[in-house]
Amino acid sequence: MIIDGKQAAADLRVALANEVKALKESKGITPSLTVVLVGEDPASQVYVRNKAKQTMEVGMISNEIKMPADTSQTALLSQLALLNNDASIHGILVQLPLPKHIDESVVISAINPEKDVDGFHAMNSGRLLNGEAGALVPCTPQGCIILAKQHLGDDLSGQHAVVIGRSNIVGKPVALLLLQENCTVTIAHSRTKNLPEVCQQADILVAAVGRANFVQASWVKKGATVIDVGINRIEADSSEGKGSAKAKLVGDVDFDAVSEVCGAITPVPGGVGPMTIACLLKNTLEAAKLYG
Amino acid sequence: MIIDGKQAAADLRVALANEVKALKESKGITPSLTVVLVGEDPASQVYVRNKAKQTMEVGMISNEIKMPADTSQTALLSQLALLNNDASIHGILVQLPLPKHIDESVVISAINPEKDVDGFHAMNSGRLLNGEAGALVPCTPQGCIILAKQHLGDDLSGQHAVVIGRSNIVGKPVALLLLQENCTVTIAHSRTKNLPEVCQQADILVAAVGRANFVQASWVKKGATVIDVGINRIEADSSEGKGSAKAKLVGDVDFDAVSEVCGAITPVPGGVGPMTIACLLKNTLEAAKLYG
């Protein structure tokens, strides 16, 4: 089974649009998301445009603040202070990566945790770790759980989940969400010995390493659910006869071979990717409900 | 090998006493720890007395605030506000458990994270999760790592660590510390299937479940390092012939049988227990250095 992230994201957006409508009617609150983009990174511009489009589609207010690439850290922090104090704004997202002269960790910790819809602020990480109420949880990990449940149903209890990768953005938070779902969780990474054997135990295998086609079919248990978080740009096969090689997106999992073994798998593109923005909108609604 | 936690804690206190002395001489700062005890739980009174004694032994200022059992939550929060704002106090610890009419999570989140020497505040949990500077890390997990290194040396990289238990106080933070040490980490718990097989993979096995003699010898890989966090009070064997059965402390690990298989093990008592207060003093020094 191929898990259709595009469809799951569309379904989630429909549900969110209904909730947004209900919140407007019951409380008179329209959730509002502000995205701050510093500089002109082309990929970031595409992301920001998509975010704005989808934000409006679910009935929320979208606000884009674009600042020049040479914006000082102080100026960015001043901008964030204004947004933190603006009661009409429920979610603030600073598009990463930032220009090199700005310290991302300083910027992230300057966002009001109640508006930190990326879920990267230490207060939100800590609430996630401690299972406390009020956490805004990183978007991509939330998407992974939703997609795993598409195949396995809502009860993941007792499943052995193996997460490859231990980043703050994906690996660690997805491991904690799987633990919350009562999975036995193994976190593997570049220093792990016998990675194939460790992966072979996985009922749920989450790959978040950023290496194209890294996970091999021989590492995957028959019937496992495979969630591929990687988005790697590689040269397309030039045998197609077009003169210049084109770039092509692939995941961290050798999709064709692993598909033959696993029970379900998320494709790249069209798997976890589309869920990330949908979960960002979910967080914005959550922030408006919790703190608006 | 039996890992001597009493000796390791004494060694740590000697090192801390030297650091405290140096901090006094270089900066004129004497680290200061305030323990707040609400009510008259006998076990808590013993802990608090031991903390005070050891705090002074390493050259720090110890302050004990005792409040009656019927203290309101509001009154406790007011007391904490005073301590938060007192620049001469570097560490604040509210002794748990609190009387039932007080919400522990509200109290913990009311402590200034910079003085939260138990490391339970969400800001400290989040900094630990994200690997950010400035985290005050829970004491018992720190003790576990120090004891594992007594046997294995400083480099734990690539070891497979299995943690049984997922509490906020021990299981989850010790898993994160082991991950920081570049271990492959598996978190197991009551919903884990095939727990014996999962444990058999452990090069480092941490038991934090609170069930007397739970971990069996057949679950332990030959040569593994076993860290027993449990402190369980059981009836002593009455065959000793004394009329009334006495209570006796045992760990989560069947010590005698597991000792025959493992490479090293922490005893109960005298293993992880003594490390907890020593690491509390370490955190108090850390808070004074970072934020004093």
Query: Least CB-CB distance to A191: which of B125, B131, B157?
Result: B157
Asked whether A143 and A176 are in contact (CB, 8 A), the reply is: no
List b or e across A207-235, with b for residues whose CB sees 16 or more CB atoms inside 10 angstroms: bbbeebbbbeeebbbeebbbbbbbbbeee
pLDDT for residue A49: 95
Q: Where are the alpha helices (DSSP H) in B206-271?
A: 255-259
Per-residue pLDDT of chain B (292 residues; tens, 9 = 90+): 999 999 999 999 999 999 999 999 999 999 999 999 999 999 999 999 999 999 999 999 999 999 999 999 999 999 999 999 999 999 999 999 999 999 999 999 999 999 999 999 999 999 999 999 999 999 999 999 999 999 999 999 999 999 999 999 999 999 999 999 999 999 999 999 999 999 999 999 999 999 999 999 999 999 999 999 999 999 876 555 555 567 899 999 999 999 999 999 999 999 999 999 999 999 999 999 999 9
Complex ipTM, two decimals?
Answer: 0.95
The radius of gyration of chain B's CA atoms, rounded to the nearest angstrom, is 20
Nearest CA in chain B to A104: B132
Question: How far is B253 from B208, CA to CA, in rounded Å?
Answer: 9
B158: which 2 tokens? 């690539």
Q: Which of B164, B120, B121 is nearest to B139 (CA)?
A: B120
- Summarised one tens digit per residue, pLDDT across range A34-71 is 999 999 999 999 999 999 999 999 999 999 999 999 99
Annotated catalytic residue, options B116, B118, B203, B254: B118
Question: How far is A142 from A14, CA to CA, in rounded Å?
Answer: 17
Looking only at the bridges linking them, the beta strands covering A225-228 and A204-207 are parallel
pLDDT for residue B246: 77
pLDDT at A238 over 70: no
Instruction: State the DSSP string of A99-118.
Output: PTTS-HHHHHHHS-GGGBTT
More confident residue, A82 or A238: A82
Q: A137 in helix, strand or coil?
A: coil
Q: A230 in helix, strand or coil?
A: coil
pLDDT for residue B245: 64
A78 CB within 8 Å of a chain B CB: no
Q: Which of A277, A247, A215 is nearest to A56 (CA)?
A: A277
Q: In degrees rounded to 5, what are phi and psi of residue A105?
A: -65, -35
Question: How far is B59 from B24, CA to CA, in rounded Å?
Answer: 10
Question: How far is A136 from A283, CA to CA, in rounded Å?
Answer: 6
Q: Which of B275, B176, B281 is nearest to B267 (CA)?
A: B275
Nearest CA in chain B to A179: B187
Asked whether B151 and B1 are in contact (CB, 8 A), the reply is: yes
pLDDT for residue A244: 55
Asked whether A23 and A285 are in contact (CB, 8 A), the reply is: yes
**Which residues are bridge partners to A93 per DSSP?**
A35
Model confidence at A223, pLDDT cuts 50, 70, 90, reads very high
Q: What angle do CA A165, A169, A171 make, to 5 degrees?
A: 25
CB < 8 Å to A187, chain B: 175, 179, 184-186
pLDDT at A245 over 70: no
The C-alpha torsion from A111 through A283 and A38 to A107, rounded to 10°, is: 20
Q: Is B252 a catalytic residue?
A: no
Taking the CA of residue B244 and the nearest CA in chain A, the distance in Å comes to: 42
Q: A157 in helix, strand or coil?
A: coil
Q: How many CB pairs under 8 A join A and B?
A: 108
DSSP A233: E
Q: Is B73 a catalytic residue?
A: no
A207: which 2 tokens? 């790959």
Model confidence at A247, pLDDT cuts 50, 70, 90, reads confident
The C-alpha torsion from A124 through A129 and A135 to A140, rounded to 10°, is: 80
Name the packing angle between helices B171-180 and A122-130 (round to 10°). Answer: 130
Q: Which of B263, B160, B271 is nearest to B208 (CA)?
A: B271
Annotated catalytic residue, options A95, A142, A150, A159: A95
Q: A128 in helix, strand or coil?
A: helix
CB contact under 8 A, B129 and A160: no
Burial class (CB in 10 A: 0-12, 13-18, 19+), B152: middle
Query: Least CB-CB distance to A184: which of B105, B176, B187?
Result: B187
Domains belonging to chain B, first-starting first, are 28-118 (3.40.50.10860), 139-273 (3.40.50.720)
Taking the CA of residue B192 and the nearest CA in chain A, the distance in Å comes to: 5
A196 CB within 8 Å of a chain B CB: no
pLDDT for residue A241: 54
pLDDT for residue B247: 86
Convert A41-79 into a string of H (helix), E (strand) and C (coil).
CHHHHHHHHHHHHHHHHCCCEEEEEEECCCCCHHHHHHH
Asked whether A61 and A119 are in contact (CB, 8 A), the reply is: no
The alpha carbon of residue A161 and the mean position of all alpha carbons in its chain are separated, in whole angstroms, by 18
Place of tokens 């922030």: A287
Question: How far is B159 from B8, CA to CA, in rounded Å?
Answer: 22
Asked whether A141 and A165 are in contact (CB, 8 A), the reply is: no
A200 CB within 8 Å of a chain B CB: no
CB atoms within 10 A of CB A52: 15
Q: Which of B214, B196, B201, B197 is nearest to B254 (CA)?
A: B214
Q: Which strands, in side-by-side order, build the sheet including B160-164?
A: A264-265, A225-228, A204-207, A160-164, A184-188, B184-188, B160-164, B204-207, B225-228, B264-265
